[in-house]
Amino acid sequence: MIATGTDVKPLEVLIFLRDVKSALYFEQMKGRGARTITLTQLRQVTPDAEEKIRFVLVDAVGVTESLKHVSQPLDREHAIGFDRLIDEVAAGRRDDDALSTLAGRLAALDRKIDDTARAVIANAAGGLDPKSLAHKLLDAIDPDTIEREAVARHLKPEAAGEALKDEACRVFDDPALRRLLNDIKRQTEIRIDTISTDSVISSGYDAARAQDTV
């Protein structure tokens, strides 16, 4: 999949042979063809190229005309705590907002912990660290993944989606894992110091750095 993280500046032709349901992914894929490149760099890849002034999009499957799913922020349930959310998922909650929010919280947790804590969680979750748990939850609500699984499992998309959700959430049925995740998350909570006070020592404006950024 040519999306964010893929940077092929000499890319001049983008061919779609499969539909893309996500509006965000589609825009990211189109953006790969819009990368600028100098003539010298372009000719290192395509010796007879004159200049990259455009890119060509070949739509073989109607991807430019099909309806797209507009992605929302991962954390959609701001008012609910992590411990309550994970308990509700374990109790059978399967709506997209809950699974997306839980995935976002797990991904955030994975960024805050060290390898030791990550290994402890993976050991309790059948080899899955928080990031992998988050990916399974997101795959369960991703339209493209659901469509592929529906074809592979010979199911209707609705049935395939429910199956993916149940499979992604099954690991949270273990109360020991839920307690472990809650304990580790509490240890990573940021504590705001309201006693000590800071004061500005100096401030300034770096024109050269600003120009370089622009």
* Structure-model confidence comparison of residues 55 and 198, the more confident one: 55
Threshold 0.75, pTM exceeds? no
CA distance to 71, 91, 110, 141, 203, per residue, from 174 (Å) = 30, 11, 19, 22, 52
Residues 120 and 43 occupy one common structural domain: no
Residues 35 and 103 occupy one common structural domain: no
* pLDDT tens track for 32-43: 888 888 999 999
Q: Mean pLDDT across the stretch 188-203?
A: 80
Residues 33 and 10 occupy one common structural domain: yes
Element (H, E) at 108: helix 96-112
pLDDT score of 3 more than 70: no
* pLDDT tier for residue 82 given thresholds of 50, 70 and 90: very high
* Structure-model confidence comparison of residues 8 and 129, the more confident one: 129
- What total of structural domains would you count in the chain? 2
> For residue 18, is it within any domain?
yes
> For residue 6, is it within any domain?
yes
The C-alpha torsion from 84 through 89 and 94 to 99, rounded to 10°, is 70
Residues 112 and 45 occupy one common structural domain: no
> For residue 199, is it within any domain?
no
Residues 60 and 91 occupy one common structural domain: no
Q: Mean pLDDT across the stretch 19-42?
A: 85
Residues 174 and 116 occupy one common structural domain: yes
pLDDT score of 6 more than 80: no
pLDDT for the residue numbered 135: 93
Residues 9 and 86 occupy one common structural domain: no
* pLDDT tens track for 140-164: 998 889 999 999 999 999 999 999 9
User: Average pLDDT of the chain?
Assistant: 88
Give me the long-range contacts of 197-200 (CB less than 8 A, separation at least 24). none
> For residue 20, is it within any domain?
yes
Residues 112 and 62 occupy one common structural domain: no
Q: Which domain holds residue 45?
A: 1-71
Residues 117 and 169 occupy one common structural domain: yes
Which of 42, 71, 100 delimits the end of a domain?
71
Which of 16, 49, 71 delimits the end of a domain?
71
Which of 16, 45, 71 delimits the end of a domain?
71
Distance CA 18, CA 30 (A): 14
pLDDT score of 70 more than 70: no
> For residue 212, is it within any domain?
no
pLDDT for the residue numbered 98: 92
Residue 132: how many CA atoms within 13 Å on its side-chain side?
Answer: 11
> For residue 205, is it within any domain?
no
Residue 107 · residue 134 · CB < 8 Å: yes
* pLDDT tier for residue 72 given thresholds of 50, 70 and 90: low
Residues 183 and 88 occupy one common structural domain: yes
* pLDDT tens track for 98-117: 999 999 999 999 999 999 99
pLDDT score of 46 more than 60: yes
* pLDDT tens track for 83-96: 999 999 999 999 99
> For residue 124, is it within any domain?
yes
Tell me the two tokens of residue 168.
Answer: 């992604």
Beta strands in the chain (DSSP E): 13-16, 56-59
Residues 96 and 178 occupy one common structural domain: yes
- Alpha helix positions (H), 154-213: 157-169, 175-188, 207-213
> For residue 77, is it within any domain?
no
CA angle 83, 88, 89 (to 5 degrees): 100
Residues 87 and 63 occupy one common structural domain: no
